[in-house]
Amino acid sequence: MKHKISKLPELAKLANYSLLDNLTADPDATETGHDHQPREVFSGHYVPVLPTPLPEPEYISHSKVLFEELGFDDKLALDPDFIQLFSGDVTNLPAGMRKIGWATGYALSIYGTEYIQQCPFRTGNGYGDGRAISVLELVANNKRWEMQLKGAGCTPYCRGGDGRAVLRSSVREFLAQEHMYALGINTSRSLSLFVSKTECIDRPWYFEDSRSHDPETMVSNPVAISTRVAPSFLRVGQLELFARRARTMEHENALNELEQIVEHLITREYQDIAAQSPIPPRLTPDKILLLATEFRERLTSLVANWLRVGFCQGNFNSDNCAAGGYTLDYGPFGFCELFEPTYQPWTGGGRHFSFLNQPFAAETNFKMFCRSLEPLLQTQPEASEKLADIGDGFKAVMQQKLEKMWTEKLGLTAYNSDLLINLLQLMVNTKVDFNMFFRKLSHVPQHVSALEKSFYMPASEELQQQWTEWLQTWRALVNAQDNAEKLSEQMKQVNPKYTWREWLVVPAYQAAAKGNYQLINELQQVLNNPYDEQSKEIEDKYYQLRPETFFGMGGVSHYSCSS
């Protein structure tokens, strides 16, 4: 059996900090990392920052799946040195590990409009990782990972915030990342979750059983640190920040810094492109075009997958769009239960980030990504034009990916737009549960009655008739008569049975605030195996329609605060 890492000094041997070696730091940063007040950062990729440890941290959970992948023994999660590090104390680390963390700046554009208003200095120089601090980069099983504490205290980008994350949002992020991974969707991953036994902070939140749209009160919740893991945490907003500076020549090194960050993105997230020719030689126009094409490929696949499982990211701005093409920022997200094309759980998100609008939101982020590469092709008109074509090509690639997704979801061999549109219309008219409906359909039923468990209301006779017709057409197209078993197996692999249901997650974070973590463990188990049939007990509890009482309930059906 392969040796597994169970102590921090062994883990330290895997440490490998490409970021700190290759990229420029903010020249105004202090070496000590005592840099916790909002301030402008004018250049450089990162600021060294000392995380603020959780007082009296307590272990809640870790991802066994990710531990396995990294070669970590489960015992490591309870090792006092491990707990110390991943609850924010980097002062006492073994040799090989740096006793400092780092935070990065990024820009924000909302639906294609560049913003600086969110920055306290109205320049954009004070926006970035306000409460996320990376503490480690390592190479495990030939893969490079960056480990980032979320809620580890203030950074220069904290904008007057407290730098903390409450337990509620940390539990959600911790569970959701691994759930998405289990659903087969690219995402940042969860390593561990620790809570403070003594520190609490207030956030705007809802009264119990609230029907209010906006939070009515401040609610105290323990602070927590979840550690997320990804090949990098580079966002479209990051490139955007450097491109804005390059465009206006804000400082003499601005274009060079943009080039560096793009090279860094390629090294960290696009190894196939990096392998084509080592960097340096410096970034070539060909590489830039390959990067744009590959990101387009990943982003369109990602969003098609989101739609496949009913996921709504909620706030798909450029600063929440990972340049590696994976899901990032599990704050205002939600999973569509009752199917509504404009489902959006975050009250601040508006329709443009709603469920079926996500392909357009992605396109806007992609255009910003391309725009951020343009300054690097200033002297290359031909390559510039190609880049514009890649941007314009987004729609067609997105459409292809969506068609493929719906085709697979319906078990068809070819896309059938009439069939799909009729179905979506019927789903809306009948008020069906998105994921439960597709799972029931994956059993290749003969009669509508087998789908009815996924309906939130009894279907009228007229609707029943329409369903019967739709089902007949579908069954004929998938050749259900001769093919049911194989088809069912295939469809179940893309139509999950167990997906995130907010009303089943709420009790888990509520119990956790009282020191009981059992429901979190149970949810991990259920959500980590979304395509499997699980026990009858689990089915009765988790494969259920949202009870009526949770509709319109603040904090369950919608939320305004995600931090």
Ligand X SMILES: Nc1ncnc2c1ncn2[C@@H]1O[C@H](COP(=O)(O)OP(=O)(O)OP(=O)(O)O)[C@@H](O)[C@H]1O
Residues labelled as active-site residues: 319
Closest CB 107 distance from ligand X, rounded Å: 10
Nearer Cβ to Mg ion (26/329):
329
Site string for ligand X, 101-140 (x = CB under 6 A): ---------------------------xxxxx--------
Q: Does 215 bind ligand X (CB under 6 A)?
A: no
Q: How many of the chain's residues bind Mg ion (CB under 5 A)?
A: 2
Q: Strand locations in 83-233, DSSP E?
A: 101-104, 108-110, 113-115, 132-140, 143-150, 165-166, 189-205, 217-230
Residues 141-170 that bind ligand X (CB under 6 A): 158-159, 161-164
Return the structure tokens found at 543: 């494969």
Nearer Cβ to ligand X (364/384):
364
Contact 495, 409 (CB under 8 A): yes
CA distance 213 to 558: 7
For residue 563, give the nearest of 168, 132, 58, 216 by alpha carbon. Answer: 168
SS3 content of the chain, % helix, strand, coil (to 5): 45, 15, 40
Residue in the structure block whose two tokens are 């395509």:
531
Site string for ligand X, 325-354 (x = CB under 6 A): ----x-x-----------------------
Burial class (CB in 10 A: 0-12, 13-18, 19+), 538: middle
Residues 534-563 that bind ligand X (CB under 6 A): 562-563
Closest CB 128 distance from ligand X, rounded Å: 6
Nearer Cβ to ligand X (164/189):
164
Closest CB 309 distance from Mg ion, rounded Å: 21
Confirm whether residue 124 is marked as ligand binding: no
Confirm whether residue 367 is marked as ligand binding: no
Return the structure tokens found at 265: 């993105």
Nearer Cβ to ligand X (157/339):
157
Query: For 531, which DSSP code?
Result: T
Helix (H) or strand (E) holding 82: helix 80-86
Single residue of 52, 320, 344, 365 touching ligand X by CB under 6 A: 320
Nearer Cβ to ligand X (357/563):
563
Residues 320-349 that bind Mg ion (CB under 5 A): 320, 329
For residue 520, give the nearest of 535, 531, 498, 504 by alpha carbon. Answer: 504
CA distance 183 to 299: 17
Closest CB 131 distance from ligand X, rounded Å: 4
DSSP-derived 3-state class of residue 104: strand
Confirm whether residue 495 is marked as ligand binding: no
Residue 164 binding partner per list Mg ion, ligand X, none, with a CB distance cut-off of 5 to 8 Å that depends on partner kind:
ligand X
Closest CB 433 distance from ligand X, rounded Å: 28
CA distance 404 to 387: 25
**Residue ranges of the binding site:** 128, 130-131, 150, 162-163, 228, 235, 320, 329
Q: Which residues bind ligand X (CB under 6 A)?
A: 128-132, 158-159, 161-164, 320, 329, 331, 562-563
**Residue ranges of the binding site for Mg(2+):** 320, 329
